[in-house]
C-alpha cells in the first residue's frame, strides 16, 4: 500500500524538483550570456542559485496542477485555464520592471511547458489505472465465481450482496 503512494510522491514531487533544477541551470547559462563587467563564469555562478530557487516552485506548482487536472475525471480544464491566465497577468504586473522581463517570459514558458507535461502524465496514469482497475475487478469476479461454484451456490451473487454495483 505504501509502495504505490511513495511512487506517486516521487513522481509528483521529486521529479518536478529535478526538472526545475535542470530548467534553472539552463536559464542561468542562457541569461549569463548577456554582456557584463564580470566574466561569463562569474555571471553563471551569480545567476545559478536564484534561477534554480525560482524554477523549483514554479515547476512544482505547474506539474502538480497539470497532473491533478489530467488524472481528474471531472472537467477541471475550465477552472485551470483562467487560473493560469491570472497567474501570468499577476506576474506581468508584479514584475513590470524592465530588469525582470526575461524572468516573466521564462516563468510563463516553463509554467506552460511543465503544466502540459503534468497534464499528459496525469492522463496516462488515469488511463493505465482504468485498465488496471478493470483487470483487478475481473480477477475478483473470477475468484468469487469459483468460490461460489465450489460451495455449490449459483455462480452469480444475489443483488443484495452487490448493492449499488448490481447489473
What is the per-residue pLDDT across 25-38, written as a single tens digit (0 to 9) for each? 999 999 889 888 89
- Asked if residue 68 lies in contact with residue 119, where contact means CB atoms within 8 angstroms, the answer is no
Establish if 105 belongs to a structural domain: yes
How far is residue 123's CA from residue 68's CA, in Å, rounded to a whole number? 9
Establish if 157 belongs to a structural domain: no
Establish if 127 belongs to a structural domain: no
pTM: 0.70
Establish if 145 belongs to a structural domain: no
Residue 163 CB contacts under 8 Å (≥ 6 apart), including other chains: none
Q: Is the per-residue pLDDT at 130 higher than 90?
A: no
Q: Is the per-residue pLDDT at 59 higher than 70?
A: yes
Mean local confidence (pLDDT), 29-57: 89
Residue 119 CB contacts under 8 Å (≥ 6 apart), including other chains: 66, 67, 69, 70
Establish if 160 belongs to a structural domain: no
Domain that holds residue 66: 2-122
What is the per-residue pLDDT across 63-92, written as a single tens digit (0 to 9) for each? 988 888 888 877 776 777 788 778 777 776
Determine the pLDDT at residue 165.
57
37 CB burial (10 A radius; 0-12, 13-18, 19+): exposed
Determine the pLDDT at residue 1.
57
Could you give the number of structural domains in the chain? 1
- Asked if residue 87 lies in contact with residue 61, where contact means CB atoms within 8 angstroms, the answer is no
How far is residue 49's CA from residue 27's CA, in Å, rounded to a whole number? 11
Establish if 134 belongs to a structural domain: no
Establish if 78 belongs to a structural domain: yes
- Asked if residue 3 lies in contact with residue 22, where contact means CB atoms within 8 angstroms, the answer is no
Amino acid at each position: 500500500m505504501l509502495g504505490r503512494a511513495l511512487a506517486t510522491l516521487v513522481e509528483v514531487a521529486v521529479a518536478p524538483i529535478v526538472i526545475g533544477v535542470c530548467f534553472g541551470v539552463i536559464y542561468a547559462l542562457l541569461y549569463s550570456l548577456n554582456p557584463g563587467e564580470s566574466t561569463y563564469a562569474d555571471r553563471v555562478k551569480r545567476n545559478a542559485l536564484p534561477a534554480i530557487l525560482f524554477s523549483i516552485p514554479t515547476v512544482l506548482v505547474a506539474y502538480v496542477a497539470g497532473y491533478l487536472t489530467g488524472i481528474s475525471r471531472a472537467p477541471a480544464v475550465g477552472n485551470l485555464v483562467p487560473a493560469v491566465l491570472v497567474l501570468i497577468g499577476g506576474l506581468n504586473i508584479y514584475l513590470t520592471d524592465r530588469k525582470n522581463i526575461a524572468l516573466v517570459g521564462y516563468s510563463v514558458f516553463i509554467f506552460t511547458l511543465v503544466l502540459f507535461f503534468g497534464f499528459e502524465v496525469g492522463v496516462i496514469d488515469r488511463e493505465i489505472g482504468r485498465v488496471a482497475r478493470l483487470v483487478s475487478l475481473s480477477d475478483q469476479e473470477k475468484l468469487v465465481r469459483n468460490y461460489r461454484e465450489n460451495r455449490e451456490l449459483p455462480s452469480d451473487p444475489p443483488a443484495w450482496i452487490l448493492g449499488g454495483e448490481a447489473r
